[in-house]
Structure 1
Amino acid sequence: MQIEILDPETEDEIAERKLNAEKARKALPKLLKFVRHIPFAEDVAASYYCAFDKETPGRVRGVLLAALAYFVVPTDVIPDFILALGFSDDATVIAMAMGIVSGHIKSEHRREAQLLLGTYKEKKS
């Protein structure tokens, strides 16, 4: 059975997507705690979904997981509690990782990220 990208999602796919968003919501407490203060939150979440996608090549997963690990580790070059600067090093690491692997971050990874962050807007046709 071939699935077309533009086929509408089934109820099961929508339920699975919501379940995955809930799992990620529990797995990414730092992201969700500071989400309003992080302008690149969607990139972080999309990177997370891409890193755990079975179709993502191993080297891409490695780059993304390293960047995500840097993001969640509380001790980094510039401590996150320093206003205006705290996330600048995290943003730089995420941006570099995204630049390296951007071709592997798919629209479904972005949609999952938007669902997680509550920013998903369904396209009307």
Structure 2
Amino acid sequence: MDALEHLRRLCLALPEVTERLSHGEPTWFVRGKKTFVTSADHHHDDRTAFWCAAGPGVQETLVAQAPEKYFRPPYVGHRGWLGVYLDVPLDWDVLADLVEDAYRVIAPKTLVAQLDASSCRPD
């Protein structure tokens, strides 16, 4: 499975997530309104990546620890969003956690409670 398909599977496994193009890239929305993950295929550079919502301090910590894997994305980086390169060796368990955390940052409390009550992560 290629990286985009794997990312798609992770996102769509979460409660009330939809996908559509936004700015020409596959993007995942909670309840069709709020973006929590967007693909970034060669957006302003020659790298394949995704951008995701992140909690306070996550972007700074991960970029400082592993700049070969993580970056501050344009447009949304100032809001704490995290950029994740997909053209490096990937640990999909870590990426699944980042996607779920992004969902938790954006989703309403009722959906987060639904996520907590079920196991939505695909194998």
Pick the TM interval, shorter chain.
under 0.3
Larger Rg: 1
TM-score, length-normalised on structure 2?
0.27
Structure with bigger RCO (C-alpha 8 Å, 6+ apart): 1
Name the one with the larger strand percent: 2
Name the one with the larger helix percent: 1
TM-score, length-normalised on structure 1?
0.27
